[in-house]
Structure formats: structure tokens, C-alpha cells
Amino acid sequence: MTTELQPESPAEAVQEQTPEQRAEAKRYNNVSLACSLADMAIDLVYLGLMAFVFARPLDRWLASYPALAGEFSLLRLAALFGVVMVLHMFVSLPLSFYSHFVVEHQFGLSNQTIRRWVRNWSLSSVLTLALGVVLNVGLFWIIWHSGQYWWLIAAAAFFVVSIVLGQLAPVVIMPLFYKIEPIKNDELDARMKQLAAGTGLTIEGVYRLGLSADTQKANAMLAGLGRTRRVLMGDTLLEKFTPEEIDVIFAHELGHHVHRHIPKMIATGVVVSLIGFWLIDRAIVWWAGIPTAATAPTATLPLVMFTLTLFSLVLSPLQNALSRVYERQSDRYALVRTNNAAAYRSAFWKLARLNKADTEPHWLEVILLHSHPPIAERLAAADLI
């Protein structure tokens, strides 16, 4: 049914995407899709080569340094991880720059200066390297010292690390990349306080997230655990959305809080990690031809990295499906809580226009890559209320 035949339809009042905007969103989506697929292929091929071709020669070369010699050297493990990761960062640098800087500028979505891009890339590379060294060396320490069922211990350690990182993310890690400050707006404060009443989320936990230094795109998120739990509303969103539309987005984030999606994701992560670590155990035994992983040579580290990457890729459709279930739950929560389907519709159309979102991507793309339902589907939820 076309809108021309239904001039009184409520959708008529909502500004949607023009045919030109829709076509541009499709083009942007196709380029982003190609970049994501290429990135995954580069990761797999690079880590595959490291695991099956270069691992032993690299390990022998590192072992020739007296400080890194010895059979179960944690220091050599750290050095091997460093070499593999630094090379990986430079191998993926051109595509990373193209997809996150060039494409975003071509489509008029980026506010980022090249200086800021380089700063953020360097900082995130250093953080990934530092955290990766600790986690991978820690993992091998567990493999070498915990016996046959090391993967149970490793999954328990993974749980602890998830909790710590979940707590630190919004207070330590994210502020390194974004300006985060309390929302200083009495009217917004009052509206949010009213929406959050009875949910256990205090209004002190709502912050303005400085996305505009990087992007034109609007976004919001729920982050943190326990006392660091907070809703982060993009400054781009706060500036461009009406109070009613902000209510809808805020209520969606409240939905994630009320439905306890972050603890549920951590619990799923622990189950997934248990399977992942068991697979690593099998891969090490097979590749090194040893009876148990307890004597895993340091040269198996790239294999461990390859196995985890392949496993998470294979699993990502399931993880994405679960995430889309959570998003639909939060959308429904937002609709019921605000009881304002018109604001819901206009908020999602505004998101589609600002973020140049393809509202109806191919189903295969959704299954493989999307953590959020297509906007057309999210809009349709408003018709059911």
C-alpha cells in the first residue's frame, strides 16, 4: 500500500528516507559489507599462515636470543605474540584506514581529522597489544600448569576478566576515546528520571558521549556492570532528536538494563569460551602431536589465535541472532514504556537517515553480520502495539 493512497496514515507525518537517501544508504552499506568481509578474510588468511607456515621458524628465531630460550618461556610467548600482532596491525592497516576513514568521509559521515584517526588507531593498537599479551601469556600459563581440564580453569578466568573489563569499560577504557560527561539539562534529567523510575537505574548513571568529534552518526548504549552501569547518549543524538525521540532511545537502553542483557551476554560468553578453550586443547594436541596440551610448545600460540578467530567467526551468526533477540526485546520495552509509537517511528527513521542505514538489507547479510534487526523490521514492531 502506498502512502499516497492513505493521506491520513500516521506514517505520512513521519519524514522517512527519500529515494536518493535510500540509494545512497544502499551504496554505503555495500561498501561497508565488502570491507567487513575483506577484513575477515585477511584475518583468517594471515593467522592461518602464521599458525601453519611461520610459527615454527619464528619461534626458533626468537629462541636464539638467550633471554627468550628455554622450553616453556613466558617471555618468548610474549615476544611471539608481539611479533604476530604488530605484523597483523600493519597488514590490516590499509583496509582499516580505508573503511573507517576514507569511506566514512566519502559518505559525509565522519567528522574525524586524520590526526585524530591516527591517534585513535595507535591507542587502540597499543591497548589491544598490552591486553592481548597479558591474556595470551595468562592462557598458556593455565595450559601449562592446570592439568588435563585446564579449559575449565581458563573459562573461570575468562569470566573474571569479563567482569573486570565490563566494569572498567565505561570508566577507564571508553574515556580514552570519547569525552564522557554527565548530562546537564534539567528538562532531560526530569524526563529520564521519570522513565527510569522503578528500574533500578539511577539518573546519575546517564551520560553524554562525545561522538561528534568522530562522526555525524547518532547512537546510544548501555555499558558497565554494578556501580559503573550507565546509559551513554551520543551528543549527536541529544542535539538532533526531539525530547520525545530521545525518550524512545533512552527507554530502549533502559530495556537492556531491565532485561539484564549485559549479565546474560557475559554468561553466554562463558559457555562459548568453555567450548573455545576445549577446541584449542584439541587443536594443540593434533598440531603438535603430543598426548596432552600441558606440554604445548610456544610455537602453538599462533594456532591458538587462529582457532579462536575461526571459532568466533563460525559462531558469530548465533551471537548476532541472540543480540537481535535482545534488541527486539528492548524495542518492545521502549514502545510500551513511552507509549508513543509516533515518536518511536520518527526516531528510527531519523537514525536511518543520519546513519545512512540500509533499512532492508539482504537476509543473508543480516544472519551473518548484523547484531541489530533491520530498521524496517524495528519500525514494524510499532504496528503491533
Residues that bind Zn ion (CB under 5 A): 327, 330
- Which residue, 16 or 327, has its beta carbon nearer to Zn ion? 327
Do 270 and 278 contact (CB within 8 A), yes or no?
A: no
- Which residue, 104 or 327, has its beta carbon nearer to Zn ion? 327
Cell triple for 152? 575449565
- Which residue, 127 or 321, has its beta carbon nearer to Zn ion? 321
Q: Tell me how far, at minimum, the Cβ of 227 lies from Zn ion, in Å.
A: 22
Q: Tell me how far, at minimum, the Cβ of 150 lies from Zn ion, in Å.
A: 36
- Which residue, 221 or 342, has its beta carbon nearer to Zn ion? 221
Q: Tell me how far, at minimum, the Cβ of 252 lies from Zn ion, in Å.
A: 6
d(CA 154, CA 140): 10
Could you give the C-alpha distances from 349 to 3, 329, 343, 353, in angstroms and in order? 16, 19, 10, 6
Q: Tell me how far, at minimum, the Cβ of 240 lies from Zn ion, in Å.
A: 18
- Which residue, 155 or 232, has its beta carbon nearer to Zn ion? 232
Q: Tell me how far, at minimum, the Cβ of 53 lies from Zn ion, in Å.
A: 41
d(CA 41, CA 44): 5
- Which residue, 176 or 325, has its beta carbon nearer to Zn ion? 325
Q: Tell me how far, at minimum, the Cβ of 330 lies from Zn ion, in Å.
A: 5
Instruction: State the virtual CA torsion across 186, 189, 195, 201 in degrees, nearest 10.
Output: -160
Q: Tell me how far, at minimum, the Cβ of 217 lies from Zn ion, in Å.
A: 15
Strand partners, 221: 232
- Which residue, 77 or 351, has its beta carbon nearer to Zn ion? 351
- Which residue, 236 or 330, has its beta carbon nearer to Zn ion? 330
Q: Tell me how far, at minimum, the Cβ of 323 lies from Zn ion, in Å.
A: 8
Q: For 52, which DSSP code?
A: I
Kindly report the three-state secondary structure assignment for every residue of 205-219.
Answer: HEEEECHHHCECCCC
